[in-house]
Structure 1
Amino acid sequence: MTLENIKEILPSDFTITSSSETGKQLYLNQKYKDDMVAKYIFDIDYENEDINLNEFQEKYLSKDYFNSEGNLQWNYYLIFLRNGLPSATKRDIEKDETYARKFVFTLDELKDYLTYEKASSAAEENIVEKWKAQLTEADLQEVFSNENYVDAVPRYIDNKTKGVEVLQPVDSKPDETQNFVLDEVSSLKLNDDYRDYPEKRNFEFSKVNLISGPNGVGKTSLMEAIELVITGNNARNENDLPNPGAIVAKYDVDLDEKEDAFVNSIPKFKARDYYWYNTRYSQRGSNTLHHSFNRYNFYNSDSAYHLSNNASSNDLTTYLSAIALGTEFGAIRDRVIKFRDRISKKLDKFNDTTKREEAIKAKANDQKERLKQISDPEEVFQKFLTEVKQLKWKGFLPQTINDETKKFEEDYSVAFSLLNSIIHSKAVKESDVLKRISNLETLKSQLKTLAVNKKELNGKIKEYQKIVVESESTLTRIDNALLYLKKPKSFRIATIDEDIKTLEKKVNKIETFLSEIEALDISKISANNSTFQEFNNTQDNLLTNKKNELKRSREQLQVLKNALDKINALMIDIKYYGREYIEAKENLDACPLCNTPHTKAELEAKVHTQYNDKESAKSIEIFNKNISELEKEISEINIKLEQSKSYEKLLKGYFTEEDLKVKISEVQPLLDTEKSQLAISKKELDQLKNLSLDLRLEGYSLDDFLKLKNTLSSKYPTLEFKAENKSKFEDLKNNAQKKIDTNRSEIEKVNEQLSKLDEAIRELLDDNFSQDRYNEEIDFQIKEYQSYRDYFVKLRTYIDFTKDDFIIEMRHSLESLNKTFSTFKEQKVKFEELTLANNLIKEADSRIEKLKPKKARATSALKVLNKIILEDSEEKVLVDFFQKNENEISEIFTSIHAPKEFSRLSFSSNKIVLYKKDLEQEVPISQISTGQRSALALSIFLALNKKLAKGPNLIIFDDPVTYTDDLNILSFLDYLRSMVINESRQLIFATASNKIARLFEKKFDFLKSDFQKFELSRSIT
């Protein structure tokens, strides 16, 4: 490989500045308008495959690299020219990021790398516009409108579709003023009524423009403002339009400046779509310029996001087809499919309806065949009228064959029911029923007369029986009274129970008193000859004196004890009380103080010996003895007072104050008297109890006595119930017995008369009715025959007959009439069925004829829609697109993708396939990396942009490489730089990534005034 070979392929902006000592390393500069763009080192040591990359860079690159300033260091490229270098070695070299971007090329590959291929500028055929033309020609323009399916499909079927002139506004021809080439957007002004962000509202653009800043500062709003003012709509927020004049732009057009403002003018933007993108111009149509603009000029972050986050081959193909074919392609294709499906269902429904109508016709024809043999309903109806006259029918009667018959049928049913009821009653004719009613009423009258006579006689019997009952009641009362009158003692039954209770209470009181007296100890006072008052006063005075004396003795003893020393006093007390202790104890065998064994005599001798020793001891003993005696006397007095007061209190509860004025010794006789009275009362009580028992055993009781006494007093107020009136009560008994006998005799006479009346009733009944219920039975039969009579009355409403006409004959005639009527109805129904069958055939034919034009339109529509779906399927259109643009897309893809492991790409079987370099190994798009997918999408977009001949020389990117690795970003930016240098393109690039923004600036900073940077921000409020 020679230097001449290199010079032959170098572009004009590349210059070889020097070489190494061996001449195997060439140093080159790339310049743009005298400004340095990049530095290259070509290693043309073609045969050397043993490359030590670190040593090579230190030797040939590092010094020059560090001598360079600013962004130029980011634009160093090291290219090894080799043939057949191992793939692994090549990959390791190209991945290295030290100092420079690195490539391993053959000479041909270097030539491809250095040569920028300009596009042929042949715009793609717009398949969507082709579809619209086909659909409009087939009257299916509503398919590519916004009309809903529910209304649009029926309108098409009914040949009532909305024309294009109704769907869209009218214009005559493209506006010539829009036939210009937009070279550059020089400025943009956002008025206050355009979105809140970006906060910066005025922009002056250059050839290359970087829009940076975090999310939410308005980068996308700025991009969409450019899209809105140029196209009149947004692809991402379709029909979300600002107010007219909200956006104002200035364009560079043929070295002049053209001002533009946003207005919602469909003719304006349709004209631009026509001139810029060769979109078919129809006099009536919608604005689709934004779809074309997004296909050729605006690559937004949505495409980058979907390509990065979907690994499915089908999903990726869908997104790539949106880039390659435009977003409107998928939207209209979806509408075509949905219209096709709905119209297909309509056609199926029409065919089903036609089949159903044909089936109705076939069934109706079968019915006509069955109804060939029928009688004339009019003849049968005339026969029916003749029989009606013979029967003397009075009910409702239809006059013609077509009259309503329901009322006749109802009347017939009632009449027939009445006849059946009469026949079941066994009545032969009406006269028999009337005669039977008359006989029953005569019988009822005769029986009623006899019943009245019986009632009078029974009344007399009741009067006699009443007198007998009253007399027997009187007799019973008198007999009960005589039981007492014959035994006078029996009258005691009235008070004996109360007398016993009174006497028992008296005995209990005496016994209780005497038992309480006996329980008292009055031994110390019972013989006293004073009254209770005198005795108590004497003892109270004596007690007071003794208590005073006891108090004085204790005081004197205390004075004497105080005069002695305490020990002697204590000894004296011990001796004194010891002597008393010894005297009180019978069996004493030890000293109570020290428990020393001594006899009682020894202890008495010791106490006396010790005690008699001194005079003081004797004095204390005298006082102690005196005090002891006083205490005993006081106790004795208290006992006497207690006995006296208890005795007096008990006596006062029984005797009077007067009785107790006697001496205490005289109370005993009073008690003896009470004891005697107690014995008398007990004896009297026993006698009363015995009498009470005897009376009750004989049948006497207090309740019976009182009731009898009250009864007698009310019945005989002048006759007192007592023993002296016994004879008067016996006279009353005799009178009552006489009344009883007289009235019983009268009752027997009346009973004989009743027997004769009963015999007369039996003869009238004659075993036809029961003796006890004949009135109910006769009344029942009368009502029964009266109901039969009512049947005849009701029947006469429907049939005219005499009282002696036989019922059975009338029913036979009525049944015959009904049979004729049924025949008439049957024949009439058949005749109507025949008419109905003819009508059904006629109506089915009419409906089938009405469906024919609808079926024809549905079939015609399906032909056009299926042709679009099948002949212009997404796969076929994409295959055609990739076949026409495969070389350009592949060239761009291999330029912006690093490392360069793929040589080309193709599209088949609805899948995009890439081919690995050298191996020609197929790799489906779903198996490549996120960055590779992003590079592929960008390649398609850039290939389309390069084809624009008259469209805007503008290319806009909104975060296109967010999901791409650094090497691919640099490759992409290198390609954009080549495109800017070699193509007449204005570049507007927006990113939220600080890293990408820095890389972009380093790649385009060489443009100086042709590079503009806008850093958007958001104020903190």
Structure 2
Amino acid sequence: MRLGDLVKQLGFGNDIEGELFTFQMDLFKVYKGMRKEEIPNGDVISEYIFVEVSDPILGKMVADTDTTYFRDFQTKLLSETFFSHKSDLRWNLYLILIVESYDQLTDTGVLQFIENDADYARKFVMTAKDALQWLDKEWLKQVSHEDKVYIDPMQEWHTGLVDAGLTGCLTEPFAQGHVESFLEGQAFLTSESTASQRRTIQDDKLTEVIENITSVELNGFRTHCFDDAEHLNLTRVNLLHGSNGAGKTSVMEAIELAFTNEINRCSEFGDNLVDSMESLKVSCTTASRKTIHFQPGESSSFYKKLAQNWYGVPAGRQSSELNSFYHRYNFFDSEAAYRFALNESGQGEKNKFDYSDNLSRLVFGDEVIEAQKNWTRYLQEFEARSENLTKQHQKVIHELNALEQKLSEIKDDNIQSNELDRHLKASQLKLSRSQRASNESMSDYLDRLSLIFQAVEAERKGIVESGLNADMLSLSDLDTYHKQLQNSVNEFINKKQDIETALSNLNAEKTALDEQIYQNEAILITSNQEYNHIVGTLEQWKKIKKTIEQPDQMTIRKGLDIREEEIIKRVEWINQLHAKHHLLDQITDDDLWILSTENHHALFVKHKEKDAAFSILKQQLATTEQFTGVIEVALSRIHAAGEEYLTNHLNSTLCPLCTQDYGSHQALVEAFEQAKTITYNNSEQLAELHEQIRRLENEIREVSEELSLHDKNARHIELVERAYAELSASPFYTRSNFDIPLSEKWNEFRKIIASRSELMRELSQVQAQIRLFDETGMSRQSILQAEYFHRENVLYKDFEANGHRTSFEEFLMEKEVSLLTKLSEIKEAIEALGEQRTSLTERMKQQSPNSVDATILDFEQKLKPISKILESVKLLLDDFDIGSEDNLFVWSSQVQKMQIYLGLFVKSQERLKEQARLKMEVEDRRNTSMGIENDIQRCSKAASALGKLKFLREYTKGFIESNISQIERFFNLLHTPREFDQLELGQDGLWLRRKWDEKPVKAYQMSSGQRASLALSVMFAIHLAAPKAPRVLMMDEPVANMDDLHLMNLLDLLRDLSLSGRQIFFTTANPDVANLFRRKFSFYHERFTHFEFMRSSGDPVRIKPIHYSPNMDTPAAKQVKKS
């Protein structure tokens, strides 16, 4: 579709003009059309300028990021039109650039830069097809008024749960107590309450479609905010402007209260709504031109009927949902749109659109979202409970079967209690122990007997396992035998004591021998050590004999070592000094000259003055060149403007600069050509300035070089002084004198460095002499060993102290012979003492008491069992009647029989108890099983009812699919930049197609502003989905999170909605938004009211109604009517 076809279909008729427009040699086809509506006054409400833009020209517009071409283009095209309008029409100019395709608009930044441009007019770039759809607003007026079948998720969920008694799952947050109560058999119903009734139903209110709200009387409503007699006359468009807290929202909530008997945010204020029931009144006109009035306080059935008529809500609910539907369809929650936009920002890692948490909240509201969260949580719990209960039931049945099996396995036995008495008597248990007390249970009695016989088991086993003759196991026989054995033991103990006395004497003699042997062995060790020392000393003497006997040669060699060390240290010092001050190698005597202080200062001042003069000349040159450039640019622009003027004004004879009349256009052209020959020339002045600058640069360079040489020589002098100071501080230099001239200091330093060669020659000579001494055996190591031997060796000290006539070697040999004789004598003595010790040991072995110990041990082993039995019987006498002549073996046998029978009797009693316990547990398991089966049935019933409910995403999908065309058209009107079209609902959620590449884009991939536009589009579609609802749009601070471009799009849409017959209520605290709103709606004249809310601290609000005319800067204001 081309631009001409578009213009024909738009229906401007003869009001649109076509013309050709030239810009920078490019030719454009332009159409201008005025939009009028059938409203009182019939003012023009907007002007459209259509420009057909070819692909090459579009390329120029988007080529530069600063859009210079486009800016100059719009200035030439629009400025005259813009300034020709003196009314609010200036704010309603639209420049539509019609392009062939979107192929060149892949950079949305450039597109947005053009559409965001606020100069002269609103800007849009689109194809002719998109422009036709964008400008076509008839669809807003053609909403069907036929009855629609409304599907309310809450109603369907309520219907699905009412028979199961689970409607509370919709309204009550999850709590385990509700689940427990339902399983116990109680119904879980909603806590909805019904409103009090005040009036009977009036038919007009229920059947008429409300077109406009004409007035609201705020008598008694929020008296802290409004006067008692506050009365507002409302018009088609109502702007409520004032600071936050001034009462703008309260006016809209008063209308909400009159319509629905509730205020959605009432809990935030803590209002006492009953006080305003009688006086608050809202007056309306209907589609049939009737006037009806609404006041709060009607019956619950009235509001349910009103919800059914306005919004198609099915009947049957316990309480009215009129308020929630009013907020869904008429009272826009703009914050919800921006919550949707922000929430969707986190969808980037998901593939599917989350209807339940985002889009569904827009369509059905938070209440329905919460209801789904509630019933799905209860469904999860009932399903989990059912699964757990089934497992519990299986476990209980398994336990019941196991208990019945155990019960069947218990067998009855025939253990008589009289047999127990007989065995007790045979065991000789005392009567006081064997009788059962009157208050003692059989169980306690048997436990007591068991403890008694368990306590004597050790004694009984001891008697049986003693190994004694069974015929001699009476107490009297055991006592006699015990005494005989004890006498034998005492006899052998006395014999053992005599043997131990003899052994003690022999041990003392052995100890004395051991002491003598130890002393002789110690002397032997000492003598061996002395002998080894003599041998070692002799070997050392042989090695150092030659050195120690030549002390003069030793002194010479030590002197050479000392001199070598001194020379090496001095050379190292010179090397370090030279390395640290190596820069002095490059200095000559001529480098130690500097200027005097006066001459240096004068030279420095001269350099500074020439620098200042140079800066002044450079500034003069820059100013002259800049002035020359400005004049040349001005002349160039004047020439270009003159050429353009002569081209566009072919009949003009007047000069546009001096207004001189040249009589003819040709004469004006000739005068212009002559003026073009005028030039501005100041080249001689510029050349003189350049020459002065060159000369001054040479002079500055010469002074700088002289100052640099002075600074360099000053650094050389400082290096020499520093080197001489370090030289004087060294112990190797003894002639330091800081008062000598600088040249002498410099010479002293060079002499020290030069002395290194002589020192190296001397070092070579000393080291050669040291090598000769080493070759003759007079090495440093041999000297050190000789000195150590002379100083530390004890034998050599003894030799020198006593002054022996023989040599030291003979002295050592004499010592060696004497020690060998002594060692031989000591060894013979040790051998003799060893033989005496061996003989003594043999005698001690013959006196051993081991044989006596074995006899004593044998008797004691025989005594142990007898003593143990006697002690055990003494303990048994406390519980049993055992005589001195009674055979203990026979008694043990009777006790064992009693223990066996007692065990059988106890087990019989335990089986009887176990049988009774199992019967009780079987009965308990059967009762538990029946209770669990009942809970499973209740859980299955609840899970079945909840499981049949449809999820909210299905209802949302149905709404979107049935209204998708309207949502798409609203989105195309609102979103910026307009890079998307063709909204679709697929398997993976909502997506749109990008215009220039046809690629699908998911909702979460759009910008937050575009997502907000999508949310608002859904909300506007919801408003149109209820044709019988009041034709009223309440928008409370809808632009708080909008940028300027989205705000302009929203205001344009509200204009079209108001022109389609809808009444607009719009609140804002922003004066800039209020001013822009006024510019958009002033064409309504008296049908647009700007309510200015003014409030001082503590005082009721003052409301000032203001009406505008698009041709008037000063508004017409009226005071609010007091009833």
Shorter-chain TM band = 0.5 to 0.7
In 2, the alpha carbon distance for the partners of 1:424 and 1:242 equals: 97
Residue type at the aligned position of 2:378: F
Residue 277 (structure 1) shift: 1.8
Q: 1:40 aligns with which of 37, 40, 47?
A: 47
Residue 980 (structure 1) shift: 0.9
Residue type at the aligned position of 2:419: K
What is the DSSP-based 3-state SS (H/G/I as helix, E as strand, rest coil) of the residue aligned with 1:38? Answer: strand
Partner residue, 1:77: 94
In 1, the alpha carbon distance for the partners of 2:986 and 2:440 equals: 77
1:822-876 CA-to-partner distances (Å, cap 9, x unmatched) read: 21221332344345445444432332222122112212322333343xx4252x3
* Aligned ranges 1:758-837 → 2 under 5 Å: 795=879, 813=894, 815-837=896-918
Partner residue, 2:240: 211
Residue 127 (structure 1) shift: 2.0
In 1, the alpha carbon distance for the partners of 2:872 and 2:1087 equals: 123
Residue 339 (structure 1) shift: 0.6
1:290-325 CA-to-partner distances (Å, cap 9, x unmatched) read: 322222112224224424544223798633321123
* Larger mean Cα displacement after TM superposition, 945-954 or 903-912: 903-912
Q: 2:447 aligns with which of 391, 394, 409?
A: 409
Identify unmatched segments of 5+ residues in structure 2: 21-28, 59-68, 467-471, 479-869, 1099-1123
Partner residue, 2:346: 312
In 2, the alpha carbon distance for the partners of 1:141 and 1:920 equals: 47
Partner residue, 1:1000: 1077
Residue 155 (structure 1) shift: 1.9
Partner residue, 1:936: 1014
Partner residue, 2:206: 179
Say if 1:417 and 1:925 are closer, same or farther in 2 by CA, change over 3 A.
closer
1:918-947 CA-to-partner distances (Å, cap 9, x unmatched) read: 432222222323322221111100111012
In 2, the alpha carbon distance for the partners of 1:87 and 1:925 equals: 24
Matched, 1:328 2:367: yes
* Aligned ranges 1:76-95 → 2 under 5 Å: 76-81=93-98, 83-84=100-101, 87-88=104-105, 94-95=115-116
* Aligned ranges 1:611-626 → 2 under 5 Å: none
TM-score w.r.t. length of structure 1: 0.56
In 2, the alpha carbon distance for the partners of 1:57 and 1:127 equals: 53
Partner residue, 2:762: none
Matched, 1:354 2:383: no
In 2, the alpha carbon distance for the partners of 1:167 and 1:235 equals: 16
Residue type at the aligned position of 1:932: Q
1:516-541 CA-to-partner distances (Å, cap 9, x unmatched) read: xxxxxxxxxxxxxxxxxxxxxxxxxx
What is the DSSP-based 3-state SS (H/G/I as helix, E as strand, rest coil) of the residue aligned with 1:215? Answer: coil
* Larger mean Cα displacement after TM superposition, 357-366 or 1004-1013: 357-366
Partner residue, 1:946: 1024
8 Å contact kept, 2:975–2:1010: yes
In 2, the alpha carbon distance for the partners of 1:410 and 1:873 equals: 74
Partner residue, 2:282: 250
Partner residue, 1:19: 17
Partner residue, 1:872: 951
Partner residue, 1:970: 1048
Partner residue, 2:322: 289
Residue 103 (structure 1) shift: 3.5
Partner residue, 1:103: 124
Residue 168 (structure 1) shift: 3.9
Residue type at the aligned position of 2:379: R
What is the DSSP-based 3-state SS (H/G/I as helix, E as strand, rest coil) of the residue aligned with 2:214? Answer: strand
Matched, 1:902 2:980: yes
What is the DSSP-based 3-state SS (H/G/I as helix, E as strand, rest coil) of the residue aligned with 1:952? Answer: coil
Residue type at the aligned position of 1:213: G
Partner residue, 1:1012: 1089
* Aligned ranges 1:477-876 → 2 under 5 Å: 795=879, 813=894, 815-868=896-949, 871-874=950-953, 876=954
In 2, the alpha carbon distance for the partners of 1:191 and 1:429 equals: 122
What is the DSSP-based 3-state SS (H/G/I as helix, E as strand, rest coil) of the residue aligned with 2:284? Answer: strand
Residue type at the aligned position of 1:141: T
What is the DSSP-based 3-state SS (H/G/I as helix, E as strand, rest coil) of the residue aligned with 1:923? Answer: strand
TM-score w.r.t. length of structure 2: 0.52
Matched, 1:149 2:175: yes
8 Å contact kept, 1:174–1:270: no
In 2, the alpha carbon distance for the partners of 1:996 and 1:407 equals: 100
Q: 1:132 aligns with which of 147, 158, 163?
A: 158
In 1, the alpha carbon distance for the partners of 2:897 and 2:172 equals: 74
8 Å contact kept, 1:300–1:958: yes
Identify unmatched segments of 5+ residues in structure 1: 434-784
Say if 1:137 and 1:253 are closer, same or farther in 2 by CA, change over 3 A.
farther
Say if 1:91 and 1:411 are closer, same or farther in 2 by CA, change over 3 A.
closer
Partner residue, 1:587: none
1:371-422 CA-to-partner distances (Å, cap 9, x unmatched) read: 35x342x534453245456668555766999953213432564587589999
8 Å contact kept, 1:228–1:262: yes
Q: 2:222 aligns with which of 194, 202, 205?
A: 194
Residue type at the aligned position of 1:872: F
Say if 1:806 and 1:885 are closer, same or farther in 2 by CA, change over 3 A.
same
Residue 19 (structure 1) shift: 2.4
In 2, the alpha carbon distance for the partners of 1:833 and 1:176 equals: 79
Residue 80 (structure 1) shift: 4.6
8 Å contact kept, 1:416–1:811: no
Say if 1:948 and 1:921 are closer, same or farther in 2 by CA, change over 3 A.
same
Partner residue, 1:277: 311
Residue type at the aligned position of 1:34: N
In 1, the alpha carbon distance for the partners of 2:945 and 2:236 equals: 47
Say if 1:429 and 1:229 are closer, same or farther in 2 by CA, change over 3 A.
farther
What is the DSSP-based 3-state SS (H/G/I as helix, E as strand, rest coil) of the residue aligned with 1:206? Answer: coil
In 2, the alpha carbon distance for the partners of 1:108 and 1:914 equals: 18
What is the DSSP-based 3-state SS (H/G/I as helix, E as strand, rest coil) of the residue aligned with 1:1016? Answer: strand
Residue type at the aligned position of 2:9: I
8 Å contact kept, 1:307–1:930: no
Larger Rg: 1
Residue type at the aligned position of 1:212: H
Say if 1:330 and 1:147 are closer, same or farther in 2 by CA, change over 3 A.
closer
Residue type at the aligned position of 1:955: L
What is the DSSP-based 3-state SS (H/G/I as helix, E as strand, rest coil) of the residue aligned with 1:245? Answer: helix
Matched, 1:913 2:991: yes
8 Å contact kept, 2:329–2:1023: yes
Partner residue, 1:955: 1033
What is the DSSP-based 3-state SS (H/G/I as helix, E as strand, rest coil) of the residue aligned with 2:1065? Answer: strand
In 1, the alpha carbon distance for the partners of 2:96 and 2:454 equals: 121
Q: 1:338 aligns with which of 374, 377, 397?
A: 377
8 Å contact kept, 1:291–1:327: no
Partner residue, 2:550: none
8 Å contact kept, 2:383–2:939: yes
In 2, the alpha carbon distance for the partners of 1:967 and 1:128 equals: 38
8 Å contact kept, 1:187–1:203: yes
Number of aligned residue pairs: give it. 657
Identity of aligned residues (%): 21
> What RMSD over aligned residues (CA atoms) do the two structures have, in Å?
4.5
Partner residue, 2:137: 115
Partner residue, 2:962: 884
Partner residue, 1:384: 420
8 Å contact kept, 2:424–2:434: no
In 2, the alpha carbon distance for the partners of 1:265 and 1:432 equals: 115
Q: 1:65 aligns with which of 82, 85, 91?
A: 82
8 Å contact kept, 2:980–2:992: yes
Residue type at the aligned position of 2:376: I
